[in-house]
Every structure is written in structure tokens, then in C-alpha cells.
Structure 1
Amino acid sequence: MRLSLPVLARLFVLALLVVFLVRPDWFEPVLKPLTQNNAPAIYNQGSLLMLTLEHLRIVFIATLAATLVALALAILVTRPAGAEFLPLSRSLVNVGQTFPPVAVLALAVPAIGFGEKPTLIALFLYGLLPIFENALTGLTNLPSAVVEAARGVGMNERQRLLKVELPLALPVILAGIRLSVVISLATATIGSTVAAKTLGEVIIAGLISNNLAFVLQGGLIVGALAVLIYDGLSAVERMLARRMGQAGK
């Protein structure tokens, strides 16, 4: 099986990222010209690998929490008994978009202190909207013939939800999760302003010391992660769409 050029390019980026995180010293000659006054070219105030893993962990926890809450709200408002809560649900999930993450951090720190907790709250709120809207779209645009067939064979509402509606809506829901993850990957960098362990630590250290090498390596790691995760989730989404008999993009 021959791999296409875009796939080979992404595999190359993944391999390069792994090598850089494991052995960043190998790239020192490339980054050294970006430094001044004999400053270090490779971030030396912590492990890039550990910061990357911490960054991904925070994004994963926030996205998981946002997915559970947004999906629960979408299921609630698409049931006859919960339809009246749609305006309220939309208001709740829009909170994260109304208040920028920096403002959420500023409000959260006095209440719960510094660290990763304020960052998790900001990412959770910011990630709700795309997941909720996609889940709502997926659950309200199901093929009526399929839903009626499920009802006709005697499935109750819970069975239809778990065995028919959610599986059919899954590709659309995953698209919302994909968008939320990419947003969170970039937004999580600001968590370092409140002492959270993220790759923003590298970027901030570079800005403070006027070290372009630090800024570049922090930004490139976040960018590479965003591209790779976005493409990976897109591939899963297309696979699910094909399995559900839907047209993949």
C-alpha cells in the first residue's frame, strides 16, 4: 500500500516532533543563530517532553469534561421533555465565547488560586460551544426513515438514542470535538501566566529574555501538535462517516 504525499508529510512531522522532544540538543546548531549574547538555544528551565505531556494532559481533561457536559445538554434539549431548555443551554455554552480565556483566568485565580485549575476552567468553558452546536446539529438532522424504522422495531427512547441516534450523529459530534481540541491546544499556552505547566512556559521565557529560539520552539511544538491531532481526528471522522453510510469530506 503506497502512502500519499500528504500522509508522508505528516508522518515526517510526527517523527521530527518526537525526535525534537526526546533529543532537543540535536537541533541546537539550527536554533543557535536565533539567540543573542550567547544565550541558550534550547529551553533549559525544564523538560520539553514533560511540558508537552502536561500540555496535552490539561487539554485532554478540559476537552473530556466539555464533551460530557455539552453532549448531555444536546441530548437533553433534543428530547421532547427538554426542548424548552434550548435557549438556556445555548446561553450557558456561550459563556466561554463571551468571556475570553484571559478574563476567565483573571476571575478564577482569586477564587481557586494559581496552577492548572484556572486553566482547566477556561479551556472547559471555551470548548463547550463547538461540541454542543455540532452535537445538536447531529442529533436534529438524523435520517427520519432510520429513526422511524428503529421505532417500528420496538426500540424505546433510550435504545434509539444509544443504538441509532448517537452512532449516526457521531461523525458530526467528533467534528465539534476536533475543533474544540485545536482551540484548546493553542489557548492552553496562556495557562503558564498563572503557573500552569504548559508549553506557554517556553514561549513566555523566550519573550521575557528576548530569546527568539525559545519562542520559536514553543510555538512550533504547539503548531505541530495542533496539525497532527486535527488530521488524526479528521481521519477518524471520515472513517466513521463511511461506516455510517454518510459522505465523507
Structure 2
Amino acid sequence: MKPGLIIRLVVLALLVAFIITPTSFAWVFQPLTRNGQPPIYVQNSLLNLTISHLTIVAIATIASTLLAVGLAILVTRPFGAEFLPLSRSLANIGQTFPPVAVLALAVPVLGFGTAPTLVALFLYGLLPIFENALTGLTTLPPAVTEAARGVGMTDRQRLLDVELPLATPVILAGIRLSVVISVATATIGSTVAASTLGEVIIAGLLSNNLAFIAQGGLVVGVMAVLIYDALSALERALMARTGQRRLQS
């Protein structure tokens, strides 16, 4: 087993242990407290906050992926090419408006809670997935697509059996970027009463408790790194299967 993998597994084990039994690690965060402050956030279950955080990220990413890949497929078909500028503008909306601004606009319509956070993450995740899906579908080896036409495959068969499988590693690279961004950005959802790990960080800021801020930021940061590494490994495996070179990102 490679040393890098061993380190990641150890870090994952420590992360899971901390999330399940955070009070066991009180001694780690005790030096960051002062005047008798509690070293561990116990107002809410860290496990529940983590599950809720990841669930929000997963739902937003799935929705972003479905729309972004759907738009990429549309604009790479002859009948949909004219919609490319409009699709690119739609994908850019999330990058044009910061997530905080989206939350501010969404709360009056959707109310406080998870919904505004989902909208913000959904919009923010569109661009990297759309651009990578577009790249993956427009840079396919011509010989492969011509061979598919030569054997009599229909447009639908070429898309499902040839184009999407070949483009999947590139699309996954966009999903990887979107997920990592969302894991970090989801913390702001707690400002509008969404149940995320941002609750721990905000509690630390309000009470001037550095231990709360550190543990909230640490869990989010480690999760982002581990998810990034896992998706990168999956991307490399898919690239190896299709004989493609991995995109640098």
C-alpha cells in the first residue's frame, strides 16, 4: 500500500472518530480556549451537522450536474448549437453573483433554512461542470466518432455509448471542482439557518472561541481535501481506462 494512501486512510479514520465522538478530542482544542470556555461545540451533534452539510452539497451538485451536462449535450448537437451563448450565460450566473448575494436574494422568496443554500450552491456549481462537459464532448477523437457513424449507430447510441463514456473523465474533473467549492461554500448557509458546519464556526465567532472556529474549519477543510483526492483518483482510473490524458486543474 502506498504511503500517501496510508496517510489519507489515517486522516479519514481520525476525522470520522472526531465527528462521532468529538469530546474525546477535547484535549486537542483545550489550549485554544480561555476563561473557562468549552473546547468542544456541543449545542448540536457534530455528526448530524456533517451529514446535513454533505447532503446539501450532494443535492446541489447532482442538480448542477444534471443541468450543466444537459446544456452541454444540447449545445453540441446541430439543432442546439445556437443556444451556446445563452447556455454559457446561464452557467455564469453563479460566478457573477457571490453566494452571499444569492442567499440575500433567495431568503425573501424561499425563507430561511436549507432552500436558499441549495440555490446558491446549485448556481455556483454550474460553470465548472458545464465548461468541462462542453470540452469533453467537443474534443472527442474524430476517428472514434467516425467509426461509430460507420457502423451505423444512431445519434442517441453515439451519445450514450461513445461520447458520454469518453467525456466522463473530463466531466468528472468539473464535478470535482464544483464539489470542493461547495463543501467550503456551504458553511455560509448557517447564516440563513441551514444546518451546516458553518454553525460551529459562527458560534465560535460570536463567542470569541477559537476552539469552535478551529474544529469547524478543520472538519470542512479535511473533508474537502479527502473528497478532492477521492474524485481525482476516480478521474485517473477513468482516464486510464479510456487511454486519455488527465486535464490539469
Aligned AA for 1:155?
Answer: M
Deviations along 1:77-117, whole A, 9 cap, x unmatched? 00000000000000001000000000000000011100000
Mapping of residues 216-235 of structure 1, within 5 Å: 216-235=214-233
The aligned counterpart of 1:152 is 150
Q: Output aligned runs, 1:169-248, within 5 Å.
A: 169-248=167-246
Once residues 31 and 248 of structure 1 are traced to their aligned partners in structure 2, the CA distance between those partners, rounded to angstroms, is 40
1:169-202 CA deviation, whole Å, 9 max, x = no partner?
Answer: 0000000000000000000000000000000000
What displacement does 1:247 show? Answer: 2.9
**1:54 partnered with 2:52:** yes
- AA paired with 1:73? L
Select which of 74, 77, 98 maps to 2:96.
98
Provide structure 2 residue ranges, at least 5 long, that are not aligned to the other structure: none
**Whole-angstrom distance in 2 between the partners of 1:214 and 1:108:** 28
SS in 2 for 1:36: coil
Equivalent AA in structure 1 for residue 86 of structure 2 = L
Q: 135, 138, 141: which is aligned to 2:136?
A: 138
C-alpha separation in 2, matches of 1:87 and 1:69: 15
Q: Letter of the aligned partner of 1:134 in structure 2?
A: N
Q: Give me the whole-angstrom Cα distance separating, in 1, the residues matched to 2:244 and 2:118.
A: 34
Partner AA of 1:160 in structure 2? R
Q: Which runs of 4+ in 1 moved over 3 A?
A: none
Structure 1 gap segments, 5+ residues each = none
Amino acid aligned to 1:51: L
Distance 2:221 2:177 in 1: 14
Identity level (%): 73
SS in 2 for 1:117: helix
1:248 Cα deviation from its structure 2 partner: 4.2
State the AA in 1 paired with 2:223: L
Q: Residue 194 of structure 2 aligns to a residue in which SS?
A: coil
Q: C-alpha offsets along residues 191-220 of structure 1, whole Å, 9 cap, x if unaligned?
A: 000000000000000000000000000000
Task: Please give the per-residue CA displacement for 1:21-65, whole angstroms capped at 9, x wherever unaligned.
Answer: 111111111111111111110001100011000000000000000
CA distance in 1, matches of 2:172, 2:68: 12
Superposition map of 1:25-104 within 5 A:
25-104=23-102
1:3-14 alignment runs, 5 A limit: 3-14=1-12
Aligned residues: 247
User: TM-score by structure 2 length?
Assistant: 0.98
- Partner SS state of residue 246, structure 1: coil
- Aligned partners of 1:176 and 1:230: how far apart in 2? 11
CA distance in 2, matches of 1:12, 1:227: 13
AA aligned opposite 1:102: V
Question: For 1:247, what is the secondary structure of its paired residue?
Answer: coil
Distance 2:243 2:185 in 1: 35
RMSD across aligned C-alpha pairs, in angstroms? 0.7
- Who is 2:112 aligned against? 114
